[in-house]
């Protein structure tokens, strides 16, 4: 039995992974940690974590994460905190001989003006990321560079995954900080239930609704992480993680309003908000060649499950 450390264990992906492993018995022993256990920006605390138990593998999910508007308003903080977390984790993994792991990037760190769509893994650093999230993006790109260098210099097996926009149970439903799907669900819920004191009988979507995004139900991502971790033929590199679909924000708004039974005629678009990057489509060709079981949940089912979870878990939701 191996010991596997999961950082970011209290976040959306970490919580879903924990839930999954509690129902599907693993041959290994997983330890999920959050910032309450160790502040990973602080190397002394990181060392304490790695001294406490000998780990064989790691799934590194911890990061300062947010939707477009959190990123736009906090670029320097996202850069500094994520750089520290990632450098500390790689240094500790090497020092305490954690030979193999999955390290989480994101499709939003890809170039803003790529040479072609859909973007394949080798395009990651071909030019600069979109200005809205350069802090987060450069910190994640350096995580990739660190992994590749340690693989090259010390024979480590540090594998990077770049998922598209994730959504699902345990998401961050905070309106200012969260991503588009939890943000829309939470705001539409408030409008529908007249909780919003500024409710003008309309529902306002931020931006024009024309930006395109790929979405992945977070449980599908957890399943793929485990397949990559246990496939010992894979020893490094990046894997984009997504299905074959892409949607405009308008299409997502329409799907959510149907699930929430909200009258679409009351929906308006506020062009004063930024759309962020208009398109950032990545390719899943490499993933499909490598991971045999990529069963993806369709967006209607994923959104419904997320909304039902949101309704049932009002007490514990991050918002």
Nearer CB in complex with ligand GDP: 41/191:
191
Q: Does 13 bind ligand NAP (CB under 6 A)?
A: yes
Q: Does 63 bind ligand NAP (CB under 6 A)?
A: yes
Nearer CB in complex with ligand NAP: 36/272:
36
Q: Which residue has the tokens 């900080």?
A: 177
Q: Does 249 bind ligand NAP (CB under 6 A)?
A: no
Among 109, 180, 225, 256, binds ligand GDP (CB under 6 A): 180
Question: Is residue 228 within 8 Å of residue 102, measured between CB atoms?
Answer: yes
Residues 223-252 that bind ligand GDP (CB under 6 A): 249
Among 5, 89, 108, 229, binds ligand GDP (CB under 6 A): 108
Q: Which residue has the tokens 């345990």?
A: 170
The Cα 204–Cα 253 span in angstroms is: 10
Residue 12 site contact among ligand NAP, ligand GDP, none (CB < 5 to 8 Å, cut-off depends on kind): ligand NAP
Q: Does 40 bind ligand NAP (CB under 6 A)?
A: yes
Q: Does 38 bind ligand GDP (CB under 6 A)?
A: no
Q: Does 47 bind ligand NAP (CB under 6 A)?
A: no
Binding pattern for the stretch 160-199 against ligand NAP, x by CB under 6 A and - elsewhere: ---x-xx-----x------x--------------------
Nearer CB in complex with ligand GDP: 124/211:
211
To the query of whether residue 136 is one of the catalytic residues in this protein, the response is yes
- Catalytic (active-site) positions: 136
Contact positions toward ligand NAP, by CB under 6 A? 8-14, 34-36, 39-41, 61-65, 85, 104, 106, 163, 165-166, 172, 179
């Amino acid at each position: 039995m191996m010991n596997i450390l999961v950082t970011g264990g209290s976040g959306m992906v970490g919580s879903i992974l924990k839930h999954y492993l509690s129902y599907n018995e693993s041959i290994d022993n997983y330890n999920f940690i959050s910032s309450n256990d160790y502040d990973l920006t602080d190397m002394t605390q990181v060392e304490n974590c790695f001294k406490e138990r000998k780990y064989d593998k790691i799934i590194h999910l911890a990061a300062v994460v947010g939707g477009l508007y959190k990123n736009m308003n906090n670029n320097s903080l996202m850069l500094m905190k994520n750089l520290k977390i990632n450098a500390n984790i790689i240094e500790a993994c090497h020092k305490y001989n954690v030979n193999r792991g999955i390290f989480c990037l994101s499709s939003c760190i890809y170039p803003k003006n790529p040479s072609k769509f859909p973007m394949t893994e080798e395009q990651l650093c071909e030019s600069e990321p979109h200005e809205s999230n350069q802090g987060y993006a450069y910190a994640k790109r350096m995580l990739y560079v660190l992994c590749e260098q340690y693989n090259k210099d010390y024979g480590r097996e540090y594998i990077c995954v770049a998922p598209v926009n994730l959504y699902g149970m345990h998401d961050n439903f905070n309106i200012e900080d969260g991503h588009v799907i939890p943000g829309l669900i939470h705001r539409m819920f408030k409008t529908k239930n007249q909780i919003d004191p500024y409710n003008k009988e309309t529902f306002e979507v931020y931006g024009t609704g024309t930006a395109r995004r790929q979405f992945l139900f977070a449980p599908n991502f957890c399943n793929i992480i485990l397949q990559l971790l246990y496939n010992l033929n894979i020893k490094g590199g990046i894997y984009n993680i997504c299905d074959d679909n892409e949607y405009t924000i308008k299409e997502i708004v329409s799907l959510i309003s149907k699930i929430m039974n909200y009258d679409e005629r009351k929906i308006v678009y506020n062009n004063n908000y930024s759309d962020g990057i208009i398109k950032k489509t990545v390719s899943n060709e490499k993933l499909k060649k490598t991971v045999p079981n990529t069963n993806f949940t369709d967006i209607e089912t994923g959104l419904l499950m997320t909304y039902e979870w949101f309704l049932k878990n009002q007490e514990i939701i991050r918002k």
